[in-house]
Structure 1
Amino acid sequence: MSQQQMRLSCFACKAKKQRCDRVFPSCSRCLRTDTECDFPRSRRSQVARPMKVQELQSKLVKLEDEIASLKTNNQVSDKNVSSDPQQTDHSPKIISEHGPATVLHSHSASTVVASPILTNHGLTSDVVLELTKAYFDSLAYAAPMIHEDRYLASLSQPPAHQPPLCLQYVVMALGAYASSCSPEFVESLYQNAKAHATSEDPDGDEHDLVTLSHTQCWSLIANFEALHMMFTQALTSLCRGIRIAQALGLHQLGEESEGAILASAQERIILEEQRRTWWFLFLSDRLVCGTTGLPLCINQEDVTALLPTSEKAFADGHSEFASPLKPLHSFTTLGSSILTVRVFIANLFHRVLNHTSCISPGIHIKRDQHEFWDRHCRLDNELSLCIIKLPENARIGNPIYNRDAVIVNTELQAAIISLHRGAIWNLRFSERNSCGEEIKRQQAHHSQERVMNSAQEIAHILRIAGAYSTTFMNPILIFSVYLAALAFIEDFLDTQKEQSQDTALMFLSALVTIGVRNVVARSLAKQVAKDMSHVGIELPPDIALQSDLPSLFSAEVGVAAANVSFRCFI
């Protein structure tokens, strides 16, 4: 082969990107460097690999999408500059509301990136972390819908990937409340939370700005307002949270697909957080509407969401069978989830309060007595069955203190008190009760025994928990303590037992102690003291009561008295 016939450079020159004189069998450079010279026999095509072309195309499409997303987010930020929104993930899907954090079991979360807006309000990273941890340590058990590890991990992300500011503010407001911070500071955090939540409400074509975090925010705002006896505002905030949840389809998180079963721990946690948010709204709706006499916001027939899994499965992201929604008066399988137990009890409590809502002293009851007593017996049996079917982690064990068990058992005993006090007053004021006087006395005696047994049980729970416990800051539990106190006051009126007087004074002292930090307890302590004075119980001189507080049962705070107005002291 001649040099004229060889038109391609040798491999050695080509690798070094040097000029080759193409002399066969060895070029001059290879001869000079004593390198083996080898020439290609044909020209190789330089077409790119098909896979590489596809990769470049996909990268280009992804880059174009990111640029378009950045433009959209910048436009939204400019439009809402007055309200300072920090939520840049505006997808209507409820997949990852707390940013891309995937860290589990990292309670330390030592590095918190505070948003510039928080910093401008004097909330440094240390303050944000301290108040957030205070909330999860003291109050999150009452609203077990936010995964603590995911939330804390998300705070170490850039501000654009953190939870919305409205949720951060209300979490810190509740944490500051639990930490006994100054009322002005707590109020400032609450006002900021509500202002940001209101500014981020859907408006026109901006419905995709609302996420799961906004649902959680409104439910916590309602919780805060109830703690501060702003019940009318709490009802409004709760309804907002419920409607947002329904718009996101949380009430329809039904049967699990094969993909959900095989999902990662992080994906299972997100799905369970959505379910828990819905069921917390459900039980709040039952308790709030039951104690105020207002109609329910959630129709049970429209709910297809699966019930929550256990607290351990939620914390660890483990796969666990989630029960479908069954009739809520069926207690065959309560499971081990405390939240599921609370959902059942809240629904039962609402039915009891609705059953007794028409009973008031001095007003003769004109209702079908057969229907009343049939319903009374059904509810009484369901309450007894519920106590029997409680899982072990929901039972009171002395001296072991379990605040979940405190909530569950206190609400159950309060429901029994409400049911049987209603039965007693129905016997006194019913115009259509045709049974004989002896039967009336027996039924009244039985109901009075049930009332006193439940009141004694609440007294036992209160002694275990202690009045200083943040557990009894829950308005429903404070209401339960008030019902138990009324039971002992009424028993003292009938029997003049010194034990009933002492226990009633113990309840009053507990309400006064809780009332140091809780306005609802202060108002009810004032009412209990007034009732004690009516029956001749002398108040201790060290009991200090505020006289300028409105009554919890007045129209000033937006609470109907229907379910407790059958007291004999008005």
Structure 2
Amino acid sequence: MQDPVTPSKSPSARQPSALACMPCRRRHLKCDTLVPTCTRCLSTNTECRYVRSRRGLRTKQGIPHTQRFDEDMLAAEDFAAWLNATTLATDLEVSDPTLQGLDTLPIWDIPCPQDDAAISEIACDPMIQLYYQNFHRSHPFLIPIKALHSSIRHRIPPFIQGLMRYIGAHYYPDPRFRDELRPAAYNVLLDSTRRDGFKVQGLLLLAIIEHAHGQEESAYLNMQTAIELALELGMNRSNFARMNAEGSSVMAESWRRTFWELYVLDGLFAAMRDQSSFSLFSQRKDVCLPCAEALYNGGSEITPTTRTLEDFKQDRSVDQGSSSFAYRIEAARNLGLVLEVNHSIDNTLEARVETVDATLASSLMQLPSSQDTTYYSSNLDEMLFQAEMITYLAIIYLHRPLSSMRFASFQARTWCTRLRICSTNPSTMDLDLHSQKFLRAADLLSNLVTLPSAIKSRTPFFTCALAMCVIVHTAACLISSAPEKVESSKARIQLSIGGLNMLGKSWPLARVVKQQMLNMCQEVGLR
């Protein structure tokens, strides 16, 4: 009898055998199928689990969307077996036609190691793989996936693993997996006695995911709790990373990145809430800037950068070791400058606006290309992508209050859509310089939708950026008397709506915002 994993077999024959435990399947090793523990798992002291056979089962029709799993539905263990068979083998094509909905983005070439001593159940968990394939690139502060094959993995608390699994489930098209994994993600809130860097990371992840679900007040509260705890622990000081790394350069880099992730997202939350500043903007900090993404994710020892944000302000040269994450941090700092100016009552306001405007323009001109073919192939460097996104948003926030185009704030379901367009007579409307600048920024911001890489894998905060584009371009349609400009703005509205539609495949907030934007366009008479 021919071995079932030989290349001569058909795709269907390469599916995991029903008579093999999960650890052996993940490593593509032969299993003797002894119950309750196979010989290989017994010798390596590994938890031995078998997947229930589903032969002869048929999916029931008409099952309500909110119903929990039953025996005829795709169970998490069955999905784990399928995903490991398709993403961890050399052939990455999906062979099961019933599961073609999975987005088969190129994944990192990090198969589970064949050495039993090096195998990590965490790294081979399919939902955690989805986390790293999609989410980690946009928010890279947890340890990289290669580090999960090292002893560092033993430090990761269960609630962090639960959060990663829950986030990873958002990139699988069946939402029932999210429902199953959601309770474990909230375990981070249950241990009130734990006060360490991992608790900060957990609260930060929870804040991001709650924002992406439209639970914005809860997201904001968790974000503020994470910031308060980080400052209490001294994560804003350079010695925290070294003292809490236990000799691991990767762990030390993760702690530095955690603080800077707090810094960036604190700025985004403040901008969406129309605050005068964000708490970490003026906070004393001497944490070194993150290293290059390729170095961090490469799995080797990391020599940390010695540059601080103040150093970066003086010299943004790549030759001086500036990482793409550093440009993202600078974009958040510039956003903080905008928030301060917008709430200033200084007599020199006009001069301050010109200074900040020049800073934003200079930052854009000095940004490296977001195309990074050396690490993510055709995908974007997500850090540079966000640096552009945040800078374009900062330009809109800076010039909108001073423009002749009128917007009003109103109580909305989301922070992303709190602005309303005021009706304006096009014949009496002239575009001043401020209006021209933020319209141009909205054009460039919407252009980010057309860049390579899957939109659904970009940061959930891209939702609010696209909502701002739709609001600005809708206003442009109302004030323009030139048919060609109206058609151009309508095309950009459709582009942004399309981006929201793609983000909505993963994040509920994007679906809500998309519908609100469509309703707004209909209310003002746009077709």
How far did residue 338 of structure 1 move?
1.8
Partner of 2:127: 131
Residue 142 of structure 1 corresponds to which residue in structure 2?
138
Matches within 5 A, 1:229-240: 229-240=214-225
Amino acid paired to 2:185 = A
Q: Tell me what 1:412 maps to.
A: 391
Residue of structure 2 aligned with 1:305, choices 278, 287, 304: 287
Give the equivalent residue in structure 2 for 1:21.
none
% same residue: 17
Preserved CA contact (<8 Å) 1:164 1:214: no
Alignment-derived partner of residue 509 in structure 1 = 498
Deviations along 1:450-501, one digit per CA (max 9) or x if unpaired, are 22322222232212247x52244x3431111121222221111122422222
2:254 corresponds in structure 1 to: 273
Q: Conserved in 2, the CA contact under 8 Å of 1:421 and 1:447? A: yes
Contact 2:123–2:145 (CA<8 Å) still a contact in 1?
no
* SS of 2:506 mapped into structure 1: coil
The normalised TM-score by structure 1 is: 0.60
The Cα shift of 1:425 comes to 4.8
CA apart distance, 1:137: 0.6
Query: Post-superposition shift, 1:306?
Result: 1.6
TM-score by length of 2: 0.64
CA contact (8 A) 1:254 1:324 kept: no
Aligned partner of 2:47 in structure 1 is none
Which residue of 1 is the match for residue 163 of structure 2? 170
In structure 2, relative to structure 1, the CA distance for the partners of 1:529 and 1:146 (3 Å cut) is same
User: Which amino acid in the other structure matches residue 514 of structure 2?
Assistant: A
User: CA separation of 1:449/1:163 partners in 2, compared to 1, >3 Å: closer, same or farther?
Assistant: same
Partner of 1:378: 355
CA displacement at 1:345 relative to structure 2? 0.6
Task: Determine if contact 2:128/2:165 at 8 Å carries over to the other structure.
Answer: yes
Moved more, 416-425 or 346-355: 346-355
Match for 1:526 among 515, 519, 523? 515
Q: Shift of the alpha carbon at 1:276? A: 0.8
Report the AA paired with residue 292 of structure 2: S
Q: Distance in 1 between matches of 2:307 and 2:395?
A: 27
User: What secondary structure sits across from 2:310 in the alignment?
Assistant: coil
Larger Rg: 1
Cα distance, 1:446 vs structure 2: 2.1
Paired position in structure 2 for 1:224: 209
RMSD, matched Cα: 3.8
How far the C-alpha of 1:279 sits from its partner, in A, is 0.8
Give how far 1:140 is off: 0.5
Q: Which residue of structure 2 lines up, in the alignment, with residue 292 of structure 1? A: 273
Q: Is the 8 A contact 1:254 1:304 kept in 2?
A: no
Distance 1:394 1:155 in 2: 33
Task: Evaluate the alpha carbon distance shift between residue 400 and residue 170 of structure 1 in structure 2; reply closer, same or farther with a 3 A threshold.
Answer: closer
Q: Which runs of 5+ in 2 are unaligned?
A: 1-108, 409-427
Q: Distance in 2 between the 1:222 and 1:421 partners? A: 28
CA distance in 2, matches of 1:372, 1:428: 20
- TM-aligned CA deviation for residue 149 of structure 1: 3.6
Aligned partner of 1:445 in structure 2 is: 432
Note if contact 2:123-2:148 (Cα within 8 Å) is conserved in structure 1: no
Q: How far does residue 154 in structure 1 lie from its aligned partner after superposition? A: 5.3
Cα deviation, residue 342, structure 1: 1.1
CA distance in structure 1 between the aligned counterparts of 2:522 and 2:312, rounded to whole angstroms: 41
Residue 194 (str. 1) matches residue 198 (str. 2): no
Distance between the aligned counterparts of 1:488 and 1:403, measured in 2? 27
Contact kept in structure 1, 2:290 and 2:304, CA below 8 Å: no
Correspondence for 1:73: none
**Where in structure 2 are the equivalents of 1:10-409 lying within 5 Å?**
108=112, 129-149=125-145, 151-153=147-149, 161-183=154-176, 185-195=177-187, 197-202=188-193, 209-253=194-238, 267-294=248-275, 296-298=278-280, 300-315=282-297, 316-326=300-310, 332-333=316-317, 335-356=321-342, 367=345, 370-393=347-370, 401-404=379-382, 405-409=384-388
Identify if the C-alpha distance between structure 1 residues 174 and 229 changes in structure 2 by more than 3 Å, giving closer, same or farther.
same
| Equivalent position of 1:546 in the other structure | none
C-alpha distance in 1 between matches for 2:431 and 2:270: 28
Whether the aligned pair in 1 keeps the contact of 2:288 and 2:307 (CA below 8 Å) is yes
Say if 1:127 and 1:277 are closer, same or farther in 2 by CA, change over 3 A.
closer
Displacement of 1:502 in angstroms is 2.4
Say if 1:412 and 1:134 are closer, same or farther in 2 by CA, change over 3 A: same
SS in 2 for 1:250: coil
What is the total number of aligned residue pairs between the two structures?
A: 386
When you count helix as a share of all residues, which structure comes out higher?
1
Q: Distance in 2 between matches of 1:527 and 1:239?
A: 28
Q: Are 1:290 and 1:351, in contact at CA under 8 Å, matched by a contact in 2?
A: no
Structure 2 residue 455 is the aligned partner of structure 1 residue 469? yes
CA distance in 1, matches of 2:135, 2:213: 15
Q: C-alpha separation between the residues in 1 aligned to 2:324 and 2:361?
A: 18
